[in-house]
Structure 1
Amino acid sequence: MCPVMDSGKSFLRNLFPRDQGVFDMRYATKGLGLGAALTAVCLAGPAATATAGPVTPAGSDRPSGPSVLVLTVAGGEDPATAPERRSAVLTCPPGPTGTHPAPGRACAALRSVDGEVGALVEADTDRICPMIWDPVTIKAEGFWEGREVSYERTFANSCVMEGATGPVFSF
């Protein structure tokens, strides 16, 4: 049975904590991607859970599987308290899709570094950015070819962040 359905609590109560006095968009955007993924797995049933792990094609050492990332840009130094400014979902194979405005370019950039978001750093060394301290924290969570991805980094400002990460966090 699906753990989301077995919890005995409303799915929305799990996504939106009660201690928040007002509606907070951070919880809504985080819950939407996760909720959609959990719903798809729960509705698919045993067929989806039987093949949920990384699959290695015949004659290949490299695992393959889903490449779905939730990309988040937040303002502030502390990732735990930084208010989310924007987020996008990026799905790469079989074709680049998602809510990202340029999924093809973002997937190509990630493919060039084998999904290692940290390897994108310093992608554009010719970029000139102002020396203004307006910290921006990025986060990438999800799966790349079946491997779990969890990356987080704080940059001095959005110009430095866009120069370092290229098209992946340009949304």
Structure 2
Amino acid sequence: MTRFLVLAAALTLTALTAPAQAAQSALPGNWLQISVTKNKGQSSDMRGTLLVCNDVPQGHAKAAEACAQLAEAGGDIGAVPPRDIMCTLEYAPVTARARGQWDGKSVHYEKTFDNKCQMGAETGDVFALDR
């Protein structure tokens, strides 16, 4: 009986994840699944969205700006031109993550910043999920 339950659970998980993976791999053009996690001691707060950079950029309030910055950097978030802004030395860490595709190439990005301002200074509007 236990073996049956384990097998049933495995089949259910496979069935649930397969359509999501197929949909993402079938998504045309340039897109990134992005998230920002605020790390607060023992707990964290995560926000995320799908940033689509095709004819009509969409995904968050600054999608057009984010897509333009990514286009300039060839889809490489680490190459987005840094902003010349002053950030406080406040330690309120945030982790930015992105995965997807740009010009047919796979994109994977993850970096933890000391604070949200530093993240914006280094990544432009890509992770601008707050309104």
Common fold, TM-score beyond 0.5?
yes
Tell me which protein shows more strand as a share of its residues: 2
1:62 aligns with none
Measure, in 1, the Cα distance between the counterparts of 2:43 and 2:79.
23
- Structure 1 residues without counterparts, runs of 5 or longer: 1-6, 16-33, 42-47, 53-64
Tell me the TM-score normalised to structure 2 length: 0.75
2:64 aligns with 104
2:54 aligns with 93
CA shift at 1:145, angstroms? 1.3
2:6 equivalent to 1:8: no
Q: How many residues align?
A: 118
What value does the CA root-mean-square deviation take over the aligned residues? Answer: 2.9
CA 1:39/1:161 → structure 2, altered by over 3 Å: closer, same or farther? closer
- Structure 2 residues without counterparts, runs of 5 or longer: 1-9
Measure, in 1, the Cα distance between the counterparts of 2:92 and 2:72.
29
CA contact (8 A) 1:138 1:154 kept: yes
CA shift at 1:82, angstroms? 7.5
What is the letter of the counterpart of residue 112 of structure 2? T
Q: Which has the higher contact order (CA 8 A, sep 6+)?
A: 2
Tell me the TM-score normalised to structure 1 length: 0.59
CA shift at 1:85, angstroms? 2.1
Equivalent position SS for 1:105:
helix
2:121 aligns with 163
1:123 aligns with 82
2:30 aligns with 67
2:126 equivalent to 1:142: no
CA shift at 1:39, angstroms? 4.3
Stretches (4+) displaced over 6 A? none
